Structures are given as C-alpha cells and as structure tokens.
Structure 1
Amino acid sequence: MNIRSNQFMNFGKMVKRLVVIGVFLFSVGTVAAQSQSSSSNPYVRLGNKAIMDGDFKAAVNALEKVKNPDTLVTYMLGYSQIRCAEYNKAINSFTKLLDQSPNNFSAYYWRGKARNTLAVQGDNKLNETERSKMLQGSIDDFSQAIQLNPDDLSYYQSRGMAYRDLGILQGTNSTAVYDKEQAAETYQKSIDDLQHVLNANAKREDLAKEIKKVKIYKGNLK
C-alpha cells in the first residue's frame, strides 16, 4: 500500500493504514518497497496490532524481538519508543533507520522530536553543554527534514520551538553555555520559523502568542 509522504506527519493516520499481511510501502523521500519478510514475522504482526490498539509498550516489546528489521519495522519501533518516553532508544532506532534510508525526512523529524524532548526534560541527566548539543542536534534534524520536504509546515514549527528552547538555555546567565549574542540570534531564528508557519495560517492564535513570548525572551536578554 502506498502512503503519501505528508501522511507520515500524523503517525496515527498511518498506522490505521498498515497492512498486517503483505508488502507495505512507505515514503523515504520517494516511496520504496519494504521487505516481504516482515509481513510473515509474528513479532511484526504483534507489534503492528499493538500500535493500532494504542498499546505502545507492547509494540516495543514485540518489535525489539525482530531480527534484522527493515526500515518499516525500525520506524514503527522508533515511534513506539517515543510514545513510551524511551527517547534515547528512539534516537538510536531512527539513527539506524537513517543509516538504511538517508532521505527519510520523517525519520529526521521524529529523531529531532526525541532529541528536543530529551534535552528539555527536567529529570534528564544531561549537563548544560550536553543539553545544548542535544538541542542543536534536534535543530539539525528538523533542518534536514525541511530540506528534504520543504512543504511540511510542521517541520518549521518544530524547529522554531527547538530554537526557542536553545535560546532559553543560551540566554540564561547562570548556565555554562550562556551567550547573550548567540541567544539573540537563536531567538530570532525561532521567531522566523514560527512566523513562517503563521503566515500560512493566520488563524493559529497559539503561534501568534508563542511568537510574542519569544520576542519578550529576546528583549529581556541581559
């Protein structure tokens, strides 16, 4: 079954279209056929069913047992790991997927989301320098997704939020990565990305409010 590239943004829509038995095709920049071996693997079938049932923990347990997973299985595993808040594992899964399929913009997007979430979690064990690098990696992932699929506005929005998070870190003078000038530039990039999305949909009041907040953050830099 062919899935258009813009459907990957909403994984909930995609999983409803997964074929339990047969060859499933999904986008890696261009639609590519996946290995038929996955369709006959009992762990893939269990994982697929668990995803459609919304039981992502069961999906992870099943999909982690698949030996030599193809790109589809790796994608399903990575997304399920994100839904289980296993962000480091998700980053590893999407990195493996990108090793197999380097033009998969959706994999870049989800790895970027995992990195961004991990970087801003209050209970993570990352120091400030590591958080800064993680956020920059997230921004790089979103930028790569944009380069490969520039029409998806959600990528710009996610990158804008990651820029905001990095700007907050850089603009806090008590952190090891404090840099006022760099923070100002990062905040402006956040504003530019969010404004790009808002320009395409003027009804997005949430974005308008977020842009105002980022402008305040930038104006309050000391």
Structure 2
Amino acid sequence: MNIRSNQFMNFGKVKHWVLLGVFVFSVNAASAQSQSSSSNPYVRLGNKAIMDGDFKAAVNALEKVKSPDTLVTYMLGYSHIRCANYNKAITSFTKLLSQSPNNFSAYYWRGKARNTLAVQSDNKLSEAERGKMLQGSIDDFSNAIRLNPDDLSYYQSRGMAYRDLGILQGTNSTAVYDKSSAEEAYQKSIDDLQHVLNSNSKREDLAKEIKKVKIYKTNLSK
C-alpha cells in the first residue's frame, strides 16, 4: 500500500489571500531586523513576487540576498514551499529556527514540507527514511502547538502526519512494519483530529477522516 496524502497537495486550492494573511502575520513576528531588509532591492523584488503569487521569481530574487536575516529566510522558505521545493524549504526553515527557535510558523511549515516529502511516491527515500521524516514532521507540529496551542490547524496537520505514519508502520509489506506502533499512531491521529472537530462540529471532512483512520486501525487486527 503506497502512502499518499492530499492534505498538502490541496494547498494551492486555498485562496491565496488567506495564505498571505498567515504569511504576513508570521513575518511581522519573525524579526526585529526586517526593517533593515527593506532597502535591499532583491528583498523588495522577492516581496513583490510573493504578493503577486510568482514564487519562482521570489526564490530567484531572495537567493541573491547576501547574509539574509530571519525575515528573508522565512520568505525564501515560504516560496520554496509554494514551488514544491520541499528539501530546500526544510533547509530554509531549519536555518530560521537556528536563528529564531520560538518561531512557531517556521515549525509548522517545516512540518508541512517534511510530511509532504515523506508521502511522495517518487521521493527515493527508503521506508526507514520516510518514517524518520514523518516523525520529524510530527515533532515540528508538536513544537508549533507548544508555542501556539490555540491554532487548531497545527493539531489537524499533526493528526494527518500521525495517520501517514500509521499507514507506513501498519503496512506489513514494508521494512518498518510495527503493528503496535501503527495502532498508537492511528490513535494519536484520531485524538488530534477529534480535538479539532470538537471545536467545530460542522467539519464533515474531519468526521470522515476520523472514520477512515478508525477503519485503518481496526484492519490492523484482521
């Protein structure tokens, strides 16, 4: 059974202004150095490209910034995400977290990049490497929750990552098959998704996903 997830592949279907709202909020909190970047022409070009939705142009501009501050590093990581350059996004957000370890948005986006990379069928990762990538994603979402526990999207993303880990560990044809670990991952997925559903009972998509995960967990015993 191949691990597949559409949770991040649907990223581009979300209205762009909503994403930019998240982005702008994170940038405003990211760095006191941001004002020093405003005079850099490549930063201005990168920022304009992001606002225009041209993320390839943003990457091209921002990669030319010498000694980027945390704002620029965030913008670059975000642009890599939108260009589906997940390995480069992970590198950028890892660098950002070394500079700003309490940046919950950086943890969130790195977690997204790791989760997406782990479930891609053509990523050339071994099953063990996929497992480590998924656990890293879960750890990132957990750190985002620790720093900003009121954001339900973090719980939802972690729940989906737990689901993907459960699928990997619960597939008996894989080298990482571990029934008990898969059961635990599925239960944690259910708990996280239920936490979000409890706050909004109209989320039929989550209710359906919880049912699916429960079926996955039940099938482990068959």
Query: Equivalent residue for 1:169?
Result: 168
Q: Structure 1 residue 41 and structure 2 residue 40: aligned?
A: yes
The one-letter code of the counterpart of 1:26 is: N
SS of match in other structure, 2:28 = strand
- Matched residues in 1 for 2:114 and 2:99: separation? 20
Query: Equivalent residue for 1:26?
Result: 28
- Matched residues in 2 for 1:180 and 1:151: separation? 32
* Contact 1:135 1:166 survives alignment (8 Å): yes
The one-letter code of the counterpart of 2:118 is: A
The offset of 1:182, in angstroms, is 0.7
SS of match in other structure, 2:175 = coil
Root mean square deviation, CA, Å: 1.5
Please report the TM-score for the alignment, with normalisation by the length of structure 1: 0.88
Count of matched residue pairs: 204
Query: Equivalent residue for 1:106?
Result: 105
1:119-138 paired onto structure 2 within 5 Å = 119-138=118-137
- Matched residues in 2 for 1:110 and 1:33: separation? 21
1:44-123 paired onto structure 2 within 5 Å = 44-123=43-122
- Matched residues in 2 for 1:160 and 1:100: separation? 28
- Matched residues in 1 for 2:195 and 2:27: separation? 32
* Contact 1:171 1:180 survives alignment (8 Å): yes
Higher relative contact order (CA closer than 8 Å, sequence separation 6+): 2
* Contact 1:25 1:34 survives alignment (8 Å): no
- Matched residues in 2 for 1:35 and 1:160: separation? 33
Query: Equivalent residue for 2:20?
Result: 12
SS of match in other structure, 2:134 = helix
SS of match in other structure, 1:49 = helix
Q: Structure 1 residue 213 and structure 2 residue 212: aligned?
A: yes
The offset of 1:14, in angstroms, is 4.8
- Matched residues in 2 for 1:102 and 1:84: separation? 25
Q: Structure 1 residue 191 and structure 2 residue 190: aligned?
A: yes
Q: Which runs of 5+ in 2 are unaligned?
A: 1-17
Q: State, as a whole percentage, how many aligned pairs show the same letter.
A: 84
Residues 48-97 of structure 1, C-alpha deviations (whole Å, 9 max, x = no match): 01001100000001001111111111111001001101000000000000
Please report the TM-score for the alignment, with normalisation by the length of structure 2: 0.88
SS of match in other structure, 1:65 = coil
SS of match in other structure, 1:85 = coil
* Contact 1:44 1:66 survives alignment (8 Å): yes
- Matched residues in 1 for 2:27 and 2:148: separation? 18
Residues 111-135 of structure 1, C-alpha deviations (whole Å, 9 max, x = no match): 0000000000011010100000000
**Cα distance 1:35–1:51, how it changes in 2: closer, same or farther (>3 A)?**
closer
- Matched residues in 2 for 1:36 and 1:138: separation? 31
- Matched residues in 2 for 1:11 and 1:77: separation? 15
* Contact 2:160 2:189 survives alignment (8 Å): yes
The offset of 1:35, in angstroms, is 3.9
Query: Equivalent residue for 2:14?
Result: none
The one-letter code of the counterpart of 2:211 is: K
